[in-house]
Amino acid sequence: MEPFPHLDRTRLAREILQDGTDVSRARLTALAQAKIAYCEFILQLAQRHGGQIFATMVPQAAPRPPSGEQMRKDYAFFLERYYHFLNQRPGDPMGFLVFDELDKSASHVLLSQIARYFQRTSNGRTRSRLIVPEPFFVHSDLSSLIQLADIVAYVISWGLRLRRMPPTTRPELDPLVAIVKRMRYYHQTEGGGEVWGVKEIPDLRPNPRT
């Protein structure tokens, strides 16, 4: 359906939230439009406060490391970009790593992988100068910034496509994708090269030299 005026959308969304058994197409549509409007407001708020996005896009069939000891390439990519982002800030800031909490065994595996990266690789030891090498784990339903990251991940997954990727997307997310694109980390090197914070990684197996 066409977008509802704000007052009508608010009324119809409230009605279906108050009584979920009294369903109509207009109420369902108004609720969906309200959710998209909420996400747009949150993303615009993050952008106004200087939020920047780092993300990896990984095909479902991407090869993965054969064991739990090796850190996946998408994590290594993020830590590289995050380090360069921090290194460009004034005042030598320290960056924190905050993860959505996994089950205990998966969290321990990730902790071990990250510790091994920072302790046993040259890149990791260099990057520990600006990144606190021990991550925090939080409950997403209690942490608003993790929920924001979830929204960004959803928009990227369903709406953003890089070059050579299949173009199929959900057009109703286009306004959100436009905001996400503006928030992507970007850096131009001294040699004129372009470095982006969103990248497709078709193979998660780590480079043995990183």
How confident is the model at residue 208, as a pLDDT?
60
CA-wise closest residue to 153 among 32, 79, 58, 71: 58
Contact call for residues 4 and 33 (beta carbons, < 8 A)? yes
Q: For residue 85, is pLDDT > 60?
A: yes
CA angle 32/35/36 to nearest 5° reads 90
Position 179 confidence tier, pLDDT thresholds 50, 70, 90: very high
**Global confidence as pTM:** 0.86
CA dist 32 and 37 (Å) reads 9
Which residues is 187 bridged to in the sheet? 195
CA angle 151/156/158 to nearest 5° reads 95
Contacts of 12 (CB under 8 A, 6+ apart): 4, 26, 27, 29, 30, 31
